[in-house]
Amino acid sequence: MTSKYWITFIGSSPFAVINTVWAACKEGYVPDSLMLFVNEELSETSINTVRQWLPIVLVEYGIKEPSIRTLNVNETGFHEIKDFYGSCISSFKEKGEIAVDITPGRKYMSAIAMAAGISENANHVYYLHLKDSLYQDKPLSLIPAHKCQLIDLKKEFEHTGKQ
């Protein structure tokens, strides 16, 4: 079985991380190895919420022991963040399929993640579009299906022929 990797940031809204993984699982991309970049200033509560929920979600999709690693990064270390994404994608590419999630984190973090995902040829660049802020930081199971949409921007751009 080919490994499936997930790379993202943990921001101040833990369910931005959890729900995007959950939505991808529902659509058939079930990661078994997750690399989570963490802002050094982030509260332990957000990190712990993600670490508690992700295994619960992934077990429901057949991943009994997901590998969940965190790496602390300096929030304003733009080059460091870019290098981390690039090196993770490069090393994981040899081992399996890669998804980059740009949903959580600040705008510039998402921009760096998207640029790395596209330039390093990740298989997926996901964004979970929440159509109503009322559901921000709520579990996916409590969000009406018509209020959120998982978008694979990599596939979207390939489909239109524009990058």
Classify domain 3-160 by CATH number: 3.40.50.10770
Six token digits for residue 26: 């529902």
Classify residue 84 by its DSSP letter. H
As a whole number of angstroms, the distance between CA 12 and CA 66 comes to 23
CB 85 within 8 A of CB 7: yes
The 3 state secondary structure assigned to 121-143 is: CCCEEEEEEECCHHHCCCCHHHC
Q: Is the pLDDT of residue 50 over 70?
A: yes
Question: Tell me: the pLDDT tens digits for 115-143?
Answer: 999 999 999 999 999 999 999 989 999 99
What proportion of the chain, given as a percentage, has pLDDT over 90?
77
As a whole number of angstroms, the distance between CA 5 and CA 67 comes to 9
Domain range annotation of the chain: 3-160
